[in-house]
Amino acid sequence: MKLFKRILLVLLSVFALLLLLVYFSTFHPSDLESVQVKCEEGAPSLESSGSIKVLSWNVQYFAGRNRVFWYDVPDETGPDVGPSREEIESTLKKVANVILERDPDFVLFQEVDDGAKKTYSENQSERILPLLSEKYPCQTEAFYWKAGFVPHPKIMGPVGMKLTIFSKYKILSASRHQLPTPPADPITKQLQLKRAVLEAFVDVKDKQPLVLLNTHLDAFSMGTDTMQRQVAFIGQLLEKLDSEKSEWVLAGDFNLLPPGFSRKQLHPNGAFFYSDDEEISPLFKKWNSTASLEELNGPNQEKFYTHVPNDPQIAKPDRTIDYIFYSKGLTMKEYRVLKEGEALESSDHLPLEGTFSLESH
């Protein structure tokens, strides 16, 4: 009996030590945090009249389109764990070319790596910013995955992934909002992604700041209510902004199909990642989307597809899971998903471009 107690004590001690090691090597953000804003001196304020162009893009850590990563297929048998340095270099240039050609006022990136083993521990924001010809004097960013070591057999090293906003105009302040996380055991909970909303307040002459919201919702929470809770959280955030009479643009990778879009339209490998619950419905019911449900489910729905799966059994745009929503005080002038050339070659997501008028209608 004494031997059993000693063994149990040793095992508990080892487990406690493991928990401590995991805890102190992982990321523990507060529910709401101020994040750093970098703005060059003399960055201009946004005029209260005229239009703004917002480009949102999940850039897939600048990995390009030549890989099938281990998580790209339902059974996690994708052969690749990361891109080559040459692929990253090429993709950085392609993404920069798209940005320079389209010339948006605000660039919202998801899946930007910083300190991750798979992308050679580089800060990818610092890699791409010099390629943008000094067009964006202001930036802010927020991590949503950060750990010193993840013991997954396909990772086995540090991770770092963030949301990034580049702006032509002065950013007054920025905050990181923690989204609800999937249920998990104590160790996995520390190591998993901690999805977030990055909120930036842009200075507007003679008006309240314009609020930009950049997000990337969960991707692998099937069988839980995680997506409903994350959408509800975002809804509360938008309601607060509306009550303050703020104008805002929300964009990102929501990892959710449009309401009315049947999973049966997808290859089984694609359908695997979604439920029939239409979790994103509350956002469509209450706020404006740059693409209406009629368009997203109509005869020309392919025009609005945003995801190009790396899965070789699909390997073409086949669904919409990225969106731009906007406040009632803004007027949408134009919306498009960029589907040609380097926009198609750079990521498993396509860039979204929305142009809005700030003038009241």
Mean of pLDDT values over 272-291? 97
77-128 tens-digit pLDDT: 999 999 999 999 999 999 999 999 999 999 999 999 999 999 999 999 999 9
- The pLDDT assigned to 311 comes to 97
Q: What is the residue extent of each domain of the chain?
A: 30-358
| Residue from 289, 45, 256, 37 nearest 164 by CA | 37
CATH superfamily of this structure's domain 30-358: Endonuclease/exonuclease/phosphatase (3.60.10.10)
Taking the alpha carbons at both ends of the chain, their separation in whole angstroms is 79
Mean of pLDDT values over 52-73? 98
Whole-model pTM: value is: 0.95
Rounded Cα gap, residues 75 and 165, in angstroms: 33
Q: If you average pLDDT over every residue of the chain, what do you get?
A: 95
Higher pLDDT, 344 or 6: 344
pLDDT band at 10 (very low <50, low <70, confident <90, very high): low
pLDDT band at 23 (very low <50, low <70, confident <90, very high): confident
125-168 tens-digit pLDDT: 999 999 999 999 999 999 999 999 999 999 999 999 999 999 99
CB 65 within 8 A of CB 308: yes
- The pLDDT assigned to 359 comes to 81
For residue 190, CA distances in Å to 129, 154, 181, 232 come to: 31, 18, 10, 23
| Alpha helices in 184-310, H assignment, sequence order | 186-191, 226-243, 268-271, 281-286, 293-296
| Residue from 235, 244, 246, 238 nearest 211 by CA | 246
- The pLDDT assigned to 7 comes to 72
The answer to whether residue 52 scores a pLDDT higher than 90 is yes
Rounded Cα gap, residues 295 and 290, in angstroms: 10
**Region for residue 340 given its phi and psi (left: phi exceeds 0; alpha: psi -120 to 50; beta: otherwise):** beta
Residue showing tokens 């950060």: 146
- The pLDDT assigned to 25 comes to 80
Mean of pLDDT values over 188-217? 97
The answer to whether residue 48 scores a pLDDT higher than 80 is yes
3-class SS of residue 19: helix
Mean of pLDDT values over 237-245? 98
Mean of pLDDT values over 49-75? 97
- The pLDDT assigned to 176 comes to 98
Rounded Cα gap, residues 212 and 152, in angstroms: 34
| Residue from 262, 178, 265, 279 nearest 221 by CA | 279
CB 26 within 8 A of CB 190: yes
* CA-CA-CA-CA dihedral for 115, 214, 274, 277, to nearest 10: 150
